[in-house]
């Protein structure tokens, strides 16, 4: 079973990635907490590449990184690259976003997920990006997922990410769409 370091400290992301990486089955491991990677990129793809490359080089193993976030049209794309740092907790981030959006009628938003895969020497061999369009609700709904899931409504499904079963979210989310592009390419690589 190939070993793959997930360049994150977020167990939620590791759990979601494990659901996609089933053929072949990978041994996924979180990067050590002591290994901090500064996200200096100006796009999600750049940050995913930085994280995958630096973790791979530091640990000498294949590494996969995801950089994702929520872009809200009425906030000029904020929180964007700063989605995880928009507050100290998920509740703080949601409260801040709803406060800043206020009663603006433009609730259009999208989740973006960029994924990069790096060889043990840090060379990036694959990069993909997935986007899931939606809207921001005025109040949270649902109890599943993490992050902004309770306020991100997907009109095509008629529910928020936090209301969806894991199988539905797995298929239609930004991460699901990015992995749908990545997986066929991943199967062509030799490890």
Q: Report how far residue 21's alpha carbon sits from residue 66's, in angstroms, rounded to the nearest whole number.
A: 13
| pLDDT value of position 166 | 87
Q: Compute the average pLDDT of residues 96-109.
A: 97
pLDDT-based confidence at 21, cuts 50/70/90? confident
* Residue 11 parent element (H or E): helix 11-20
**Helices assigned H by DSSP within 60-187:** 90-101, 166-172, 174-186
At residue 34, the pLDDT reads: 87
To the question of pTM greater than 0.85 for the whole model, the response is: yes
Average pLDDT over residues 148-176: 94
The encoded tokens of residue 140 equal: 């949270």
List phi, psi (to 5°) of 115: -125, 140
The predicted model gives 6-25 an average pLDDT of: 81
Instruction: Please give the mean pLDDT across all residues of the chain.
Output: 92
- The pLDDT value given to residue 1: 60
Handedness of CA 58, 4, 44, 15 (dihedral sign): negative
What's the pLDDT tens digit per position in 120-144? Answer: 999 999 999 999 999 999 999 999 9
Least reliable range by pLDDT among 33-37, 104-108, 118-122, 169-173: 33-37
Tokens of 70: 């929520």
Q: What is the mean pLDDT of residues 62-69?
A: 94
What positions carry a catalytic annotation?
A: 67
Query: What is the mean pLDDT of the segment spanning 140-157?
Result: 94
Domain residue spans of the chain: 3-186
Residue range 3-186 in CATH 3.90.950.10? yes
Give me the pLDDT at residue 15, please. Answer: 81
pLDDT higher than 70, residue 24: no
Q: Is it the case that residue 29 has pLDDT exceeding 70?
A: yes
- For residues 133 and 96, is the Cβ–Cβ distance under 8 A? no
Strands (E), the chain: 3-6, 27-30, 63-72, 108-118, 124-136, 152-154, 159-160
């Amino acid at each position: 079973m190939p070993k793959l370091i997930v360049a994150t400290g977020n167990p939620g992301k590791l759990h979601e990635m494990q659901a996609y990486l089933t053929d072949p089955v990978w041994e996924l491991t979180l990067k050590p907490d002591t290994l901090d990677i500064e996200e200096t990129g100006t796009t999600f793809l750049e940050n995913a590449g930085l994280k995958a490359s630096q973790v791979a080089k530091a640990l000498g193993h294949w590494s996969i990184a995801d950089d994702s976030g929520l872009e809200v049209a009425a906030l000029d794309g904020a929180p964007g690259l700063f989605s995880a740092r928009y507050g100290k907790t998920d509740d703080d981030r949601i409260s801040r976003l709803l406060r800043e959006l206020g009663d603006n009628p433009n609730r259009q938003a999208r989740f973006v997920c960029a994924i990069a895969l790096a060889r043990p020497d840090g060379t990036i061999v694959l990069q993909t990006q997935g986007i899931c369009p939606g809207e921001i609700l005025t109040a949270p709904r649902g109890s599943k997922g993490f992050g902004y899931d309770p306020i991100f409504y997907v009109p095509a499904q008629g529910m928020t990410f936090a209301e969806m079963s894991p199988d539905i979210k797995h298929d239609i989310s930004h991460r699901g769409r990015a992995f749908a592009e990545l997986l066929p390419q991943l199967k062509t690589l030799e490890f």
